[in-house]
Structure 1
Amino acid sequence: MMAPGDRDADPAAGGPGRHVPVLLSEVLDWLDPQPGEVVVDGTFGAGGYARAILARGARVVGIDRDPDAIAGGQGLVDKANGDLILVPGQFAALDAHVKASGFDGADGVVLDLGVSSMQLDEADRGFSFMRDGPLDMRMEQAGPSAADVVNELPVKDLIRVIGLLGEEKRATTVAHAIDRARQEKPFSRTLELANLIEKVLGRSPKKAQIHPATRTFQALRIYVNGELHQAAEALGAAERILKPGGRLVLVSFHSLEDRIVKRFFQDRTKTRGGGSRHMPEAEVPPATFELLTRKAVEAASDETESNPRARSAKLRAGRRTGAPARVLDIHAAGVPRLADFHGLGG
């Protein structure tokens, strides 16, 4: 993963530090895998976390929606002597994947949210505006692509996608420029889109290292892959599958992801319902998690210097209580309401 706002370290750009697991030491500290335990690596990727967990003697259920990651992990499966099960699928259903793998519950769950370095570093996957490739961005390599979104989504919905998911202040300007350009020629390549956005927005002298297409590419990637929905649903799935005492560790890379994680833990660790002198304290359900990290854990300077992708990483962790899992409202957790779009769906 890479930190937004830096050409060498932006999630849409690609850059150095390939396949280096971010915050590995901190993940292991909070996950605390023990021999014989079952740990879910919901974002298997290149297997960095999984290798370290296996080395601690735990068994791993690795999940990834990217067929390339599943294929690339088969060598590690062979070496793990039955302690690693690789599952192709979405981590939003990690509880179902764990049960289908023959386990009733899990002792730990780790999720490294966002796009993987493997995907960023391959131009043909179309995630990066620093490398020319097809405007794709599909983690599962199926379904509507970023090109489909850019070329077909109504302009008012394109504004919402870029504004909400990319937090781009000039979303209207970008969307209308895209709309004018696509009427002459549909977009098919990453650099076609990146160059247009750079031409329209220009470069700020104060932020010369930040490519103007950064936020738009982030928005498209999140939208194409339903990343925020997936992240929120995965939190609910982890709550359902974790045994009492099980640890949930999450690493996020931008404010939208971190906001969802933070709100989830705030809600699930709450023991008091507020109230005032005019109204009685509201009753709240029993807390399903005990918060382990009072504030987000960030990478140390030595890691950020050697791996720029760690610069924006934030880790939060909680320990499962014995309280029953609750129904999750993903929109209350911070997922924008995009499902009412008139275009490709959200």
Structure 2
Amino acid sequence: MPNKSEVLLLSEEDVISTGLTMSQCMELVEEVLRARANGQTLSPPKVFLDMRLNSEHQCDADAMPAYVKYIDMCGLKWIGANWENRYKRGLPNVIGIVILNDPESFVPLAIMSANWLTAMRTGAATGLAVRELAGKGSKILSIIGTGYEAKFQLMAINEVVKLDEVRVFDIDRDAMESFLRDADQTFSVNIIPCKGVKEAVDGADLVVTVTSSRIPVLGEDFVPDTAKLICSIGTYNELGDKIVGWFDKIVVDTREQAKSEGALADWFARGLISNGDIYAELGEILVGRKKGRVSEDEKILCVLTGLGCEDVVVANRVYRIAKERGLGKTFRFF
């Protein structure tokens, strides 16, 4: 590497303008999950910082470092949330950045906005899970939570399943109306707004929960009647205890992190599930070490809490494209 420290700074607009497609993002995420299953990445569990514990700040954050050997790149995603940002400050509720570093000298190579990037790679992981775990002939999707990431979930699932109908629900009516306006311009599938969770999931083949709820939004009072796959996305406790008796097996993106983040963490803490209840990591299924769906009757719970290695590979591609196209601004670090 040259003995200089020129850092590329990429805004959210710069990152989006690289034009990375969901199909390309799914290829990147699949490659890195396969690599992780074969020991070619270092991607430790998130470090969680909750500033609400000893301050008046309503903000929490995750630090997600990773090294990916086959692209020889290391980096960190630093992402936090304050759910009052939008209406109090006119800012996104979630704000993230990725820092890419040269793994030999640790000189920073790029600092980029990571909101769109996170939504893309999160959707990509769900798309891969649906491809491997959904039942044949799945046609009806239910999405619970219609915030920023919901559109990307639908984008990815639409890559792998021919949907007839999408049912959506959010307690925030403005968020649902915004999603519907955007989706009507983006997708050709029939999208139906629902008045509650039960209405949204009854009759669905696939259910995706993508909320910021700290209390269960599904499985508290009832379980889906027809769904054969539930995907819970992110770091929050979205699932009620009735789901414990619903699933035949659990698939995660990372066993270790599932104990402390996301929908399974509370169940682990209360002894409702144990290590033996985790059937496989998604990467193990992608490399063929474990089978995905083995019967059409099987009910599968898939919990994806997100990995730093996913962010690093997508950020690396964004960085390369941006350099080729002259996007962003550069500055000397030293």
TM class, shorter-length = 0.3 to 0.5
- The structure in which a higher percent of residues are strand is 2
**Normalized against structure 1, the TM-score is what?**
0.37
More helix by share: 1
TM-score by length of 2: 0.39
Question: Which has more radius of gyration?
Answer: 1
